[in-house]
Every structure is written in C-alpha cells, then in structure tokens.
Structure 1
Amino acid sequence: MRIAGLASGMDINQIVNDLMRAERIPMDKLFQRREWLSWQRDAYREMNLALRTFRDTYAHLRLQSTFIALQATSSNASGLKATATASAQAGTYTVEVIQLAKGAEIRSEQRIKDKDGNDVKASTNIFAAMGRDATEGSFTIKVSVNDGTNQRTAEITITAEDTFSTLARKLSQASVTEDGKEVSLGLQASFDDTLGRFFISTWETGEHMQLTIEDGVDGASQTVEFIDKYILGRTDPATYEGTYTAQGQNAIVDFDGIDTIEHTTNNISVRGLT
C-alpha cells in the first residue's frame, strides 16, 4: 500500500501519470498520423473510383465515330477507301478513278547489262560493269528535284567502290545545304535484281513535281554513257543524251458523273467524303 505524499506532501501518483502522459505524446502523434493517412487513402480510393467511372462513361467521346452521323463504305475497298465527315450527306455515289497521283519517276527502259552484255545485279561493281579502270578516278552526276516552287540540285559522286545498290542508296540520301541545314531532295531509289532496273522517284506526288538526272561535267562522253546505258537502260548510243527529266501526275477521278476532280495527291475530299 502506497500513501501518496505522506512525508513529502507531493502527489506521487499524479507526478507519475503526468510523466507517463508526456512519454506517450510521440506515440499518440503516430496514432493520429496513422488515422490521418487511413482517411487520406480512403479519399484517394474514392477519387480513383470516381475518375474511372467518368473515364468509362465518356470513353466513346475519344472516337471519331461518335461525332460522325454517317459512315461511308466502298463497294471496292481494295481500290477506294471512303470516310464520311460530319458534313456528309446520305446517298449512294459513283466514283471512277481515271488515274492515280504519282511522283516524278525515272526507271530503266530495259534490263541493264554490263559492257559484255551480261545482266548486272545490285551488288555488281559499277566500274567493272563499265570497263572503267579505278585509276581513271571518280565521276559525278547531277540529280535535281523541282516542286514548282524550289529546285534543289545535288551532285552524286560515283567511286571505284560503288555498286548499283550503293548508288541507289546515295540517290535516296541526296540532299543540299540550305541556311546551314541539310535538306533532303525527297527521293526514293532502288535497283531491282529480278527486273535488272533502276527505279527512282520523288516521295511527293503531283504533276508539279519534276525529277532530272544529268551528267555532272557538261557532256563528258563517259558520264553521258553511264546515265543512258547504266541508269536508263538504253542500248543505242545514237539515243544517248546524258540527261533525262520525268514529271509527276495528278490524281483524276470522276465523282458521280457530275464533275471530274483533279488533285495532286490520292487523298481527295468532296461533299463531306474523303
């Protein structure tokens, strides 16, 4: 049995309780913090649930079809793809594709052969095909692209190490420097082993596009021969010119027998249909 403060006059029990209460303060704060975090977690869960419900409810608003009252279908989906916009009108229309838009393209007229009349491959060395000795040094050709506004001309150097494949790659990567920046001519080029021909064209389509290949030294006989024989595939020296220009073409379609539409690309919009 303990009699508090009998000798000293102090309430020992109260002092002990006060000291213990002070010691429990950090623990009490932790319990309060845990309770607060629990409430916060529950609030986040409720918010996430509300956001998910909102997302699922209005997910269809991300789809173009939600805002397009009509849908277009083509009877020949492999030849014509149609999409209806909000301004499209219901009906059946007849579309005749007269011609497709194309880029300016240069392709070999015949299978390319070497000096001995043998078919060349993409891996064939150009100097060997021409019978040109490496000591004669490299030579250049010029390739130009005119888009109706700007004409860009690049020189392509052909070395003793080049093959028909590496020449195609150089043509595809042809560029010029404008204002300190490299600007691509926008070409795609390849040499097809099966057909034995070059295919060189502009990425951009339309009749405003022009592509020209010419000799790089004003009519040097070997360069002229190279362009006509080893790029264009011509075999008659009497036809050699050393330069060739190709022009792109526009797309032309007849819409429902009403009007003939001409466009620089194959993506045409009329009466709310694309």
Structure 2
Amino acid sequence: MPVRIGGLASGMDIDGIVSDLMKAERTRTDKVTQEKTLLEWTRKAYTDVNKLFAEFILRTRESFGLTDSSSGFLVNQSVRGLKWIRRATVGDVGIADVSARAGAANGANELTVTQLAANWSAASSDGISAAGQSRSNLASQFGLTDEDVVHLTISTGTGTKEQKVQITIENGMASVIKTSYGAGEDGEDSVISLLSGKDISDLSLKELTRQINRADIGVTASYEESIDRFFLQTNQTGAENTVSFSDE
C-alpha cells in the first residue's frame, strides 16, 4: 500500500505550486478573451461607421432633392428636376401656386383666369313653411299629420365614393339613415341609423338639418329661420362631386 507524504511533512508548498500553474493557464485564457473582445468592439465600430456613412449619403441626397422616398421607394432623380435651383413667384397666391425646375427659362409669364371652381349649392327660392304656422316642429311648420308620408333621399358622389342619406316621415315619426356603398366589411354597403322613430311634433327642421350634416356625405345643410329658407351645398369643388335628390 503506497504511502503519501503531505506538503507539511515534505516541506513543499503543494497548494502554491498548483495555484501558480493555474495562474499561468488563466493568463493565456484571459489573453484570448481580451483579443476576442477587442475584435468584437472593432467590428461593431466599423458597422456603426458604415451606418453613419450610409445615413449621411441618403440624407444628403434627399436634402438636395436627388432622392425621393415619398412613395415608399427610393427614386433617383436628375439634377435638372431639382426645384430649388430655380425660383418662381406669383403675384396673387390666392389664385395659383407656381414652382420652377432646373431647366426653367428666365422670364415673366402672364396667367389669365377665365373660371374658378365653385361649390355646388342650392336654396329655396322663397319661404318653405306653411303660412301662419309655428316653426317649432315639423308637424306644425308644414302642417303634417300621421297620415302624411314623406320620402327624401340626398345622394352624393366623390370620385368612386357614393353615399346617401334617406329622410322618411311616416305615421308621425321621422327617421334618418345613412348609406355608404361598398364601405362595409368585404365591400358590403354600410348602413347607419342616425335618427329613428322621432315624433315630428318634437322634431324641428334645424334638428333635421343637423342630422343631415352629421351623416357627413359631403354636403352641408342649413335652415335660416329668420328668412324661412333652406340651403344645401357641397363641401368640395370639382365636377366629380355630384348631388342628386329623389322622393323615393
């Protein structure tokens, strides 16, 4: 059976020797770790510099108008298309807005305006209330009874967007319904009830015009009680903004 003599008996510092051997090994390991860390820092620094250069180039091109990203795509443009190289001014900014490109010639131009776009509008030519009647509610203002039936549809179109508001008075009750064609889920028509089952003896014409405006179909209705006239006009100009009426 072998006999082992400890460091105390042999006079040797075994723990110190082992510690020194491990310290040398740790030194080599620490050096490799430090070199790896330094390389990672260097790589990150190069990446950051590349990003800064790329952003600088992109922002510089955009500032000079050489790159257009408004459409979501980067589009390179010619220097001749830059607007800031030339300057154009107009005497009346309320009539027209002008700009000049790089290839614009020096000089002055005269613009003659022959017609300006206007909103479509309509108004009652005279008073609309029944003579001598109170205007506090529809029943008294127009002499309506429970037997009277009224249907009025206001339809509007703005390009491909078509909407309508339907006003119905029947059995002494009024309702207002808004329909937007193809505005619902899966392209279905969207139908919203703005007013339902309102007694016409408790409903004024001003309140009815508020419901028409609340429908937000591109028209504004108003009633001026002092002159007893009704007004309607489109909110936008242009031939594509259409309005039609029907009593169905």
| TM-score of the aligned structures, taking structure 2 as reference length | 0.52
Matched, 1:61 2:72: no
Aligned counterpart, 1:127? 139
- Which of 80, 89, 92 is equivalent to 1:76? 92
Aligned partners of 2:116, 2:137: CA distance in 1, in Å?
A: 36
- Per-residue deviation at 1:139? 2.7
Tell me how far apart the structure 2 counterparts of residues 84 and 168 of structure 1 sit (CA, whole Å).
46
The one-letter amino acid of 1:211's match is V
Match of residue 245, structure 2, among 205, 209, 213: 213
State the alpha-carbon separation in 1 of the partners of residues 206 and 108 from structure 2: 49
TM-fit CA distance, 1:76: 1.6
Query: How far apart are residue 141 of structure 1 and its match?
Result: 0.8
SS state at 1:143 partner: strand
Does residue 168 of the first structure (1) align with residue 235 of the second (2)? no
Residues 151 and 40 of structure 1: is their aligned pair in 2 closer, same or farther, counting only changes over 3 Å? Answer: closer
Gaps of 5+ in 2: 1-6, 69-78, 175-199
Which amino acid letter does the alignment assign opposite residue 46 of structure 1? V
Q: Hey, what does 2:71 align to over in structure 1? A: none
Task: Give the number of the structure with larger relative contact order, counting CA–CA contacts within 8 Å between residues 6 or more apart.
Answer: 1
For the aligned residues, what is the CA RMSD? 5.0
Is the CA contact 2:119–2:234 (under 8 Å) kept in the aligned structure 1? yes
**Post-superposition shift, 1:40?**
5.0
| Matched position secondary structure for 2:98 | coil
Match of 2:123 among 107, 110, 127: 107
Taking the TM superposition and a 5 Å limit, the aligned residue runs for 1:174-193 are: 186-191=217-222, 193=224
Residue 157 of structure 1: aligned partner: 168
Preserved contact between residue 219 and residue 233 of structure 2 (Cα < 8 Å): yes
Quote the offset at 1:188 in angstroms.
1.3
- Find the aligned partners of 2:129 and 2:13 in 1 and give their Cα distance: 119
Residues 1:166 and 1:128: Cα distance change in structure 2 (over 3 Å) = same
- Opposite residue 218 of structure 2, the aligned amino acid is L
Q: Is the contact between residue 156 and residue 243 of structure 2 (CA under 8 Å) also seen in structure 1?
A: yes
Letter in 2 for 1:187: G
